């Protein structure tokens, strides 16, 4: 069984969309979305520097657009997706790409919503200087109390020995100086706020208004939620989870447990892939993985899909 996943904020690098624009129709699609959301995705994906694409209001639409255009090279229609993919998920903002893949939102609706999400989270982040940092290694039973002592939140519990802490800039600095026992490194992330914490509460209110205008369908393929790793069958429930998730921890560890329970044999991470595949290699030994980085990876991805496609098109459960 194949699982398709979409990366979260921090995966972006300058120019990462450049090679994808050489594929037929990709630039036209990006320009169409750019006009719809009033953001030049082509510029930011090809010419902008690291500081420009670190901006939450830019990074989030850019990442969802990348996940969509790269995955559509593999699955052009819903029928192709259902036949090839057993389950889909995204990390944080990547959940909006997964919502489009599984038919709950149209691509344009997902882009419109992620644009508002990025703006709302950037506005919330501007209230107080906040940030996030990844802790590599360490025992969860030691790390979590240490974070609590420093006033930090475990905003992402990613599995494979990785937890991402979030809080004020001062709290993150204190963590860098005083890492939990057993933790190898503390790595500040390229994000502009304490996402998935109480600092994002104003963004929840903004998104509740935004989703009220959307047309929502039930997912046609299993959608695994960041909230608790559960498969979500209702489109309305899925969208409610997307809204609340901006102020609540990402439980990617539970998502990977669900992949395992479902019988995953291969994982493909949409562009700009790499982060989630790295976690899967450590947490799901024996599962084949592939990160889509450039169009050069597409032929390998197609071979992996052919090998691991479901024998029958799965429905959401």
Q: Annotated catalytic sites, by residue?
A: 92, 196
Determine how β-strand 162-168 pairs with β-strand 130-137.
Answer: antiparallel
- Angle in degrees, CA 84, 315, 297, rounded to 5: 20
Determine how β-strand 2-6 pairs with β-strand 87-90.
Answer: parallel
Which H or E run includes 53? helix 50-54
> Which ranges of 219-274 would DSSP assign to H, the alpha helix?
235-245, 252-262
User: Which letter does DSSP use for residue 96 in this model?
Assistant: H
C-alpha 94/C-alpha 268 separation (Å) is 13
Q: How far apart are the first and last CA of the chain?
A: 15
Query: What are the two backbone dihedrals, phi and then psi, of residue 140, each rounded to the nearest 5 degrees?
Result: -55, -35
C-alpha 78/C-alpha 103 separation (Å) is 7
Angle of helix 94-101 versus helix 107-125 axis, rounded to 10: 160
Q: Which of 278, 53, 28, 64 is nearest to 158 (CA)?
A: 278
């Amino acid at each position: 069984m194949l699982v398709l996943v979409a990366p979260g904020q921090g995966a972006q690098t300058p120019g990462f969309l450049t090679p994808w624009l050489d594929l037929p129709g990709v630039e036209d699609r990006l320009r169409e979305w750019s006009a719809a959301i009033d953001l030049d995705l082509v510029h930011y994906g090809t010419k902008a520097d690291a500081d420009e694409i670190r901006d939450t209001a830019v990074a989030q639409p850019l990442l969802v657009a990348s996940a969509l255009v790269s995955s559509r090279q593999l699955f052009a229609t819903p029928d192709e997706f259902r036949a090839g993919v057993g389950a889909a998920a995204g990390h944080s903002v990547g959940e909006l790409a997964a919502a489009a893949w599984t038919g709950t939102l149209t691509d344009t609706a997902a882009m419109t919503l992620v644009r508002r999400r990025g703006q709302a989270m950037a506005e919330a982040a501007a209230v107080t200087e906040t940030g996030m940092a990844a802790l590599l290694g360490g025992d969860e039973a030691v790390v979590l109390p240490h974070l609590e002592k420093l006033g930090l939140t475990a905003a992402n519990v990613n599995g494979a020995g990785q937890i991402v802490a979030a809080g004020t800039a001062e709290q993150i600095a204190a963590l860098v100086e005083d890492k939990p026992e057993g933790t190898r490194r503390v790595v500040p992330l390229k994000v502009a706020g304490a996402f998935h914490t109480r600092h994002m509460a104003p963004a929840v209110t903004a998104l509740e208004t935004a989703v009220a205008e959307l047309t929502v369908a039930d997912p046609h393929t299993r959608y695994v939620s960041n909230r608790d790793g559960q498969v979500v069958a209702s489109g309305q429930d899925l969208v409610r989870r997307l809204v609340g998730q901006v102020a609540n921890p990402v439980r990617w560890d539970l998502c990977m447990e669900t992949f395992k329970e479902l019988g995953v044999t291969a994982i493909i991470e949409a562009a700009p892939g790499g982060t989630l595949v790295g976690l899967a290699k450590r947490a799901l030994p024996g599962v084949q993985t592939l990160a889509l980085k450039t169009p050069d990876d597409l032929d390998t991805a197609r071979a992996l899909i052919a090998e691991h496609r479901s024998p029958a098109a799965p429905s959401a459960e």
